[in-house]
């Protein structure tokens, strides 16, 4: 193996881009050269990486020419625009946006669930939606063990899903509300402090939001379960970083909560936090800054013959986005698949 | 009819007691005499009612003797203690605690759902749990129209469920967190600001909390549906006043979202707020201070043959507690059933 890969981060100044840098450093990812890119307005920004200063550059073809892999942490439109340039310059793209996720020739990967799909990439690997990543890490082990007929999921999604601006708006709205000042929403459709907004992304079909339908479409692709029935409700909550999900699973075969707990304890990327007697269960405040999916409140779903109810939380900027992308890059690097 | 009934409020200084006074005033409830009671430490507190000052007294038998009806807004233990005294003194009790709700000889009433159960009271009428009231007002019309096989509900419960102290703790924790001060939980098991706690009331059986099981036990009794299958997950969220619920309904007969919407629009106590194109859906911040149950995001549950998904919000101190109790008192007064 060489000294490492030449890695570009596109959108390095955003919430996910910044977290990617942090995670690359924490995991001591072997990098030969690191290129931090962003849009022209951000060019010149100085970032720290392993004690050294990296200057953000305005993304151009020459940067992709010099990179083996580029991790995209930008919006769908910019991702579409730039991916072509990267491919033409022989740079493999790990894209965090929605742009390519459902394209048949693009693998959509959660390393704990379908790492094998990386093998057939054609230059782009898509990083799934945050709520979907968190859900599939938790439910795939149950699916493998007992099959799944139906999944009902209600999310409790942090404002970090709307990036830095979302984080700032929750802080500002909270202060405004507490001080009795008028609250003016900009990032969200309504005030988010001390409120809940049952609407994330746009409404697409049958009165579901795209955020909700992503959980259906993407989970099916990642889990190779095209007929899996999923009923999602996605709700924004006044939490800074971690997403939580209340999930009801109807399994094909019976599975006890005890067995589910044992299986989840042995599953990659999962931490079981489940001891009601000790008030132990996942909470978003305490999972912020971590890379695992925390699962608790594992119990029989008392409304159906073969059912389980679980409660899940995970840092959406990390496992829900940046960590998952870095894990994909690690596999690409280890297998020289770039 | 006389000039009105002689009404006692037990626990008049608490969050629910205070709201009862406000609602009695708003609805111009015909009262001959109002007696405000609380525990000895609160005696002497001055409250305002219709522009006049009412002095809170330490509750004793003599007060029940002078009252036709007493609305109890106190904890389970005190309710049990005082109800006997009230009954002995011929005073009908509307009790907001958990003490009598599941007793066979005590009607458990939501006026929009089972007002007829008031007729057979034997001195005590129980006011249901807040999350249950909000849920049954929304789902009973669907149950009547299409039957219900199974209900999956995840709650998003405001801190007001823990009374005044809960409201104060959210405010304090929010300020402490924003100012970088240490957060010390007292009312809740963990910091509630910018967090979620999937644990309300104590754990009782099969790793469900009593708050969750109340939704099962109480909904069955109120709806006269002893076999209704309900799977609840109850979660505390950093919202001040209104509870929200994500509810998935599996119906016996098919029912379209359009028909469900029409039925709900005509249902008592329900306000349909459901226009995705205009970003119209229920949110707790805007339902605080109201008496209705707001229902939106009405759509087909895409994971099951006959299913609906809905999103509900309502002020838990009002419709979830105080308003429901006042409505029961109004029926008692109108029918002279005291």
SS (H, E, C) A203-230: EEECCEEHHHHHHHHHHHHHHCCCCCEE
Q: How is residue A114 annotated by DSSP?
A: -
Residues of B in contact with A245 (CB under 8 A): none
The predicted structure's pLDDT at residue A1: 43
**CB proximity B275 to A under 8 Å:** no
Task: Give every CB contact of residue B244 below 8 A, 6+ residues apart in sequence.
Answer: A196, A198, A235, B155, B156, B157, B237, B282, B283, B284, B311, B312, B313
* Residue indicated by tokens 């209600």: A154
CB–CB contact B154 A151 (8 Å): no
The predicted structure's pLDDT at residue A2: 54
CB B124, CB B95: distance < 8 Å = yes
Calculate mean pLDDT across residues B289-311: 97
Task: Give every CB contact of residue B294 below 8 A, 6+ residues apart in sequence.
Answer: B270, B271, B272, B273, B282, B287, B312, B313, B314
Choose the closest CB to B284 out of A195, A233, A279: A195
The predicted structure's pLDDT at residue B1: 43
Say whether A37 sits in a helix, a strand or coil.
strand
Burial of A181 (0-12, 13-18, 19+ CB in 10 A): exposed
B243 noted as active-site residue: yes
Calculate mean pLDDT across residues A180-208: 95
Structure token pair of residue A231: 């009923």
Residues of B in contact with A189 (CB under 8 A): 279
Residues of B in contact with A175 (CB under 8 A): 178
Calculate mean pLDDT across residues B283-288: 95
Residues of A in contact with B175 (CB under 8 A): 178
CB A153, CB A247: distance < 8 Å = yes
* Residue indicated by tokens 């019309």: B141
CA-nearest residue to A200 within chain B is: B279
The predicted structure's pLDDT at residue B159: 97
Q: Which of B63, B91, B130, B173 is catalytic?
A: B130
Characterize A1-30 residue by residue with b for buried, 16 or more Cβ atoms within 10 angstroms of its Cβ, and e for exposed.
eeeebbbbbbbbbbbbbbbbbbbbeeeebe
Averaged pLDDT score across all residues of chain A: 96
Contacts 24+ apart (CB under 8 A), B142-146: B142/B249, B142/B251, B142/B255, B142/B260, B142/B263, B142/B264, B142/B308, B143/B223, B143/B225, B143/B228, B145/B255, B145/B259, B145/B260, B145/B263, B146/B251, B146/B252, B146/B253, B146/B254, B146/B255, B146/B306
Q: How is residue B115 annotated by DSSP?
A: G
Task: State yes or no: A236 annotated in a binding site.
Answer: yes
Return the closest-CA partner of residue B152 out of B307, B314, B321, B313. Answer: B307
Task: State yes or no: A150 annotated in a binding site.
Answer: no
* Residue indicated by tokens 């609407």: A199
Catalytic residues of A: 130, 243
**CB proximity A337 to B under 8 Å:** no
Detail the residues of B annotated as belonging to a binding site for NADP(+): 13-16, 160-161, 316
Q: How far is A142 from chain B (nearest CA, A)?
A: 18
Cα B188 off chain centre by: 20
CB–CB contact B197 A233 (8 Å): no
Determine the Cα–Cα distance for residues A294 and A274; give it in Å rounded to an integer. 9
Determine the Cα–Cα distance for residues B213 and A11; give it in Å rounded to an integer. 47
CB–CB contact B311 A151 (8 Å): no
Determine the Cα–Cα distance for residues B294 and B237; give it in Å rounded to an integer. 18
Return the closest-CA partner of residue A133 out of A242, A208, A259. Answer: A242
What is the H or E stretch that residue B80 is in?
helix B76-88
Task: State yes or no: A303 annotated in a binding site.
Answer: no
Residues of A in contact with B194 (CB under 8 A): 170, 238-240, 285
- Rounded percentage of chain A residues whose pLDDT exceeds 90: 96
Determine the Cα–Cα distance for residues B6 and B65; give it in Å rounded to an integer. 10
Q: How is residue A157 annotated by DSSP?
A: B
Choose the closest CB to A231 out of B178, B190, B303: B303
Residues 295-334 of B with CB under 8 A from A: 296-304, 307, 309, 311, 313
Q: How far is B295 from chain A (nearest CA, A)?
A: 12
* Complex ipTM: 0.96
Structure token pair of residue B54: 């009412």
Residues 184-243 of A with CB under 8 A from B: 189-191, 194-199, 203, 206-208, 216, 229-231, 233, 235, 237-240
Determine the Cα–Cα distance for residues B277 and A204; give it in Å rounded to an integer. 10
Calculate mean pLDDT across residues B270-278: 97
Instruction: Please write the tens of the pLDDT for every residue from A94-136.
Output: 999 999 999 999 999 999 999 999 999 999 999 999 999 999 9
CB B70, CB B328: distance < 8 Å = no
Calculate mean pLDDT across residues A277-284: 97
Determine the Cα–Cα distance for residues B307 and B126; give it in Å rounded to an integer. 31
Instruction: Please write the tens of the pLDDT for every residue from A288-330.
Output: 899 999 999 999 999 999 999 999 999 999 999 999 999 999 9
Q: How far is A46 from chain B (nearest CA, A)?
A: 27
What is the H or E stretch that residue B46 is in?
strand B46-49
pLDDT higher than threshold 60 for residue B7: yes
pLDDT higher than threshold 60 for residue B52: yes
Q: Helices A15-26 & A163-178, crossing angle to 10 degrees?
A: 110
Instruction: Please write the tens of the pLDDT for every residue from B97-120.
Output: 999 999 999 999 999 999 999 999
Q: Are β-strands A31-38 and A5-10 bridged in parallel, bridged antiparallel, or unpaired?
A: parallel
Domains belonging to chain B, first-starting first, are 5-128+321-335 (3.40.50.720), 132-316 (3.30.360.10)
Determine the Cα–Cα distance for residues A193 and A173; give it in Å rounded to an integer. 5
Task: State yes or no: A161 annotated in a binding site.
Answer: yes
Selected residue of A246, A261, A281 to mutate for chain B interface (largest B Cβ count, 10 A): A246
Instruction: Please write the tens of the pLDDT for every residue from A225-250.
Output: 999 999 999 999 999 999 999 999 99
Detail the residues of B annotated as belonging to a binding site: 13-16, 101, 157, 160-161, 236, 316
Instruction: Please write the tens of the pLDDT for every residue from B156-205.
Output: 999 999 989 999 999 999 999 999 999 999 999 999 999 999 999 999 98
CB A7, CB A31: distance < 8 Å = yes
Could you tell me the pTM of the whole model? 0.96
Instruction: Please write the tens of the pLDDT for every residue from A19-59.
Output: 999 999 999 999 999 999 999 999 999 999 999 999 999 99
pLDDT higher than threshold 90 for residue B336: no
CB–CB contact A285 B190 (8 Å): yes
Say whether B151 sits in a helix, a strand or coil.
strand
Q: How far is B24 from chain A (nearest CA, A)?
A: 28
CB B30, CB B338: distance < 8 Å = no
Helices (H) and strands (E) in chain B, counts: 9, 16
Cα A232 off chain centre by: 16
CB–CB contact B309 A248 (8 Å): no
């Amino acid at each position: 193996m060489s000294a490492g890969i030449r890695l570009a981060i596109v959108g390095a100044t955003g919430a996910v881009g910044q977290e990617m840098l942090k995670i690359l450093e924490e995991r001591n990812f072997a990098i030969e050269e690191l290129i931090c890119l962003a849009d022209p307005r951000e060019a010149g920004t100085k970032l720290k990486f392993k004690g050294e200063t990296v200057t953000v550059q305005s993304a151009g073809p020459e940067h992709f020419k010099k990179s083996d892999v580029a991790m995209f942490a930008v919006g769908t439109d910019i991702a579409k625009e730039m991916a072509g340039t990267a491919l033409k310059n022989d740079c493999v793209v790990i894209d965090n946006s929605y742009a390519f996720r459902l394209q048949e020739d693009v693998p959509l990967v959660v390393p704990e669930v379908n790492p094998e799909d990386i093998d057939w990439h054609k230059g782009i690997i898509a990083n799934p939606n945050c709520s979907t990543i968190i859900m599939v890490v938790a439910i795939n082990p149950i699916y493998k063990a007992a099959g799944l007929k139906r999944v009902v999921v209600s999310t409790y999604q942090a404002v970090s899903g709307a990036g830095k601006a979302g984080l700032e708006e929750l802080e500002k709205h909270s202060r405004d509300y507490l001080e009795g000042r008028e609250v003016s929403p900009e990032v969200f459709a309504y005030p988010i402090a001390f409120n809940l907004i049952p609407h994330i992304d746009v409404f697409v079909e049958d009165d579901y939001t795209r955020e909700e339908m992503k959980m259906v479409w993407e989970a099916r692709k990642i889990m190779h379960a095209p007929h899996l029935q999923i009923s999602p409700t996605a709700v924004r909550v006044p939490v800074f970083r971690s997403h939580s999900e209340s999930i009801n699973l109807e399994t094909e075969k019976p599975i006890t909560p005890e067995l589910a707990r044992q299986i989840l304890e042995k599953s990659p990327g999962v931490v079981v936090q489940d001891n009601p007697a000790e008030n132990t269960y996942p909470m978003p405040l305490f999972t912020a800054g971590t890379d695992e999916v925390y699962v608790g409140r594992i119990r029989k779903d008392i409304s159906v013959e073969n059912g389980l109810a679980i409660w899940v939380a995970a840092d959406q900027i990390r496992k829900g986005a940046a960590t998952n992308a870095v894990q994909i890059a690690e596999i690409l690097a280890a297998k020289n698949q770039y």
